[in-house]
Structure 1
Amino acid sequence: MNKTFNHHFRQGCFVGMGIPGISLAASFFALGALFKNTGLDATQSFLSTLISFALPGQVVMAETLIVHGTFLNIFLSVYLTNARLYPMTINLIPVIREQNRPRWHYYIVAHFIAVTSWVHMLNNYKTVKKENRFSFFLGLSATLWIMSTITTVIGFYTAGVISKNIFIAIIYLNPIYFMCMIVAGLNKNYIILTVVLSVILSPILYLVTPSWSVLVAGLIAGITSYLIIIR
């Protein structure tokens, strides 16, 4: 590793230990308590975040365990929930790609992609030179992964100490941060149109299909924005 890589890797680590890391770690802290209530042990909780690192999918897994779902139920639920990471990865890799970097490096960094690091990088990639984006993102995302794994275990062991209401409040910190990042990125017409259409369509579609209203609204809004503005 050269000095330039190390410098930007450290920069990514410092950013990860700031607001992005605090908000994400807080959610995984609450997730650790949820895991304990589902009957998982500390090792299983630790490995869940270490290996999968996908908060929505892990929450779905925990909820399915609570209602005694089968292995197939859990597999399909988590698979469909985490399918969102595929288009996120496809979208991000061209942003951080370097000309001479081996392809297998990107397979490694893909494991660390989460909504928090993805949104932060897409909102700020222009502030980092093209040749330094990979090292910066690796530092950012790896730091978030490590912090999340550690706080999952801490949350597991403090589940009986902190009240349930506090845990519920904590788990919403990351979605709130994510929402704020989206609002901060409302400087592009296609994003504005997507958000506005989603807000309008969601309550209307809720009357038709409550369970699918948000997903369908987002899908319609995104496709419409693409066809009208981007294409």
Structure 2
Amino acid sequence: MPPTHADAASLHWFLKGARGIFSLPALILMTSFVGFSAFALESGVSRGEAMFMTAMIWALPAKMILIGMMASGANILAMFLAVTLSSIRMMPMVASLVPEMRGSRTPTWLLLVLSHFVAITAWVFAMGKLKGVPREARVTYFAGFGLTLVAANTILVGLSYGVVSTFPPAVAGVLFFLTPVYFVGSIWASARHSVVRIAFVIGVVSGPLLAVITPGLDILIAGIGGGTLAYLIDRFVVRRRAPVAAGEGAEP
């Protein structure tokens, strides 16, 4: 059967989303996955296992946690819980992105499938690009980007595995840490609400301190405690000052 106009339009937006692989966030993430392949190699994880982790777990920090726990001899239940807790932090990203993608006839199962691709890179990219995409094409556009990004990085891990053993350790470390450095700036720049920036500042300050004071619980305390504190500051300080400032600026 010849392709319909709707099929041609869907393919157009899918391919346009796939071209996002050449965006700065995607390219930086790819360099980080080269660093990940070096970490997997040094930790005794096979090429196939590293590629499977990339496709199935996807989020880079969760894979780092898993490999670290595997190397330390942790049991499988502990590893399962650690990866699960690490991935829960993606829920607010999914919750904010789904309303931007959902159309009037978008099936729920499709949104659940696409949520697998939501990590920091996809979230930053989509939140910046979806506004310029017609709502009925946003799911297709994001699917093109997400599928291409995961597939490209899975292949990249397989190709770079072994090659990175020739890199100096400092080079592999720099490649891996490009992602957190980039996304620290991206999250701040893309923050739309004051509570996000307040939470960001609290996390940057409290994270290193808690890592020294309560190692092992630092991320949990900084996440829950810092997020709660940021909400309270925004709710009872920032929002209360805003009407007062507006009143002071009004003409008599």
TM-score interval w.r.t. the shorter chain? 0.7 to 0.9
| C-alpha distance in 1 between matches for 2:166 and 2:203 | 39
| C-alpha distance in 1 between matches for 2:113 and 2:196 | 29
Report what 1:217 is aligned to.
222
For structure 1, the residue ranges without an aligned partner over 5 or more in a row are none
Q: Is 1:167 equivalent to 2:155 in the alignment?
A: no
Counterpart contact for 2:47–2:158, Cα < 8 Å: yes
Counterpart contact for 1:24–1:144, Cα < 8 Å: no
Percent of aligned pairs sharing the same letter: 26
Pick from 18, 22, 41: which aligns with 1:17?
22
For structure 2, the residue ranges without an aligned partner over 5 or more in a row are 1-5, 237-252
Counterpart contact for 2:130–2:138, Cα < 8 Å: yes
| C-alpha distance in 2 between matches for 1:128 and 1:6 | 14
Q: CA deviation at 1:100?
A: 1.0
Name the larger-Rg structure.
2
Coordinate RMSD, CA, aligned:
2.5
Report what 2:121 is aligned to.
116
What is the one-letter code of the residue matched to 1:126? K
Q: CA deviation at 1:60?
A: 0.9
> For this pair of structures, how many residues does the alignment match?
231
| C-alpha distance in 1 between matches for 2:16 and 2:107 | 22
Report what 2:246 is aligned to.
none
Please report the TM-score for the alignment, with normalisation by the length of structure 2.
0.80
What is the one-letter code of the residue matched to 1:163? P
> Bigger relative contact order, structure 1 or 2, given CA contacts below 8 A and separation 6+?
1
| C-alpha distance in 1 between matches for 2:209 and 2:36 | 32
Report what 1:132 is aligned to.
137
Report what 1:63 is aligned to.
68
| C-alpha distance in 2 between matches for 1:77 and 1:193 | 26
Q: Flag the 1:201–1:44 CA change in 2: closer, same or farther, 3 A.
A: closer
Please report the TM-score for the alignment, with normalisation by the length of structure 1.
0.86
Report what 2:240 is aligned to.
none
Q: Is 1:98 equivalent to 2:103 in the alignment?
A: yes
Q: Flag the 1:160–1:54 CA change in 2: closer, same or farther, 3 A.
A: same
| C-alpha distance in 1 between matches for 2:118 and 2:227 | 21
